[in-house]
Amino acid sequence: MNEEPLGAAFNALADPTRRQLVGMIAERGSVTASEMAREFPITRQAVAKHLAVLQEAGLAEPARSGRETRYALRPQGLAGAAAWISDVGAEWDARLGRLERHAAAGERGRGSGV
């Protein structure tokens, strides 16, 4: 639907529930939709939708075993998002550097270490 992996990743991470899900998956390794639904104030189907979003964004991957489907993280999606932020940050830092050279004010470096 989105055709844009970066947008999909950021969009997936935009929802607080989804971020919590990601956190839970990260700390447990792999979780099922029903498990999460028990610890969240929302329906299993809602969780399933969120997981689908995460999957389509390349952030999570399902693995069916028997009747249950366990979801695991896929950090490469996160890496893409981090890379974009890093790029923009770098460009911005470059500008700041140029300005600093002109201004030569105090305020030492600290270039938003992304």
Number of residues that bind DNA (CB under 7 A): 28
**If binding is defined by CB under 7 A, does position 72 make contact with DNA?**
no
**If binding is defined by CB under 8 A, does position 97 make contact with a copy of itself?**
no
Pairing of strands 30-32, 60-65: unpaired
Choice between 26 and 90, CB closer to DNA: 26
Residue 69's H or E segment, with its range, is strand 68-73
**If binding is defined by CB under 7 A, does position 101 make contact with DNA?**
no
Residue 13 CA to residue 92 CA, distance in Å, equals: 23
Q: At 26, which amino acid appears?
A: A
Residues in CB range of 6: below 8 A, 6 or more apart: 80, 81, 84
Choice between 14 and 105, CB closer to DNA: 14
**If binding is defined by CB under 7 A, does position 6 make contact with DNA?**
no
**If binding is defined by CB under 7 A, does position 49 make contact with DNA?**
yes
Residue 95 CA to residue 100 CA, distance in Å, equals: 8
Which residues of this protein are in contact with DNA, per CB under 7 A? 1-2, 11, 14-15, 17-18, 32-35, 41-46, 48-50, 53, 62, 64, 66-70
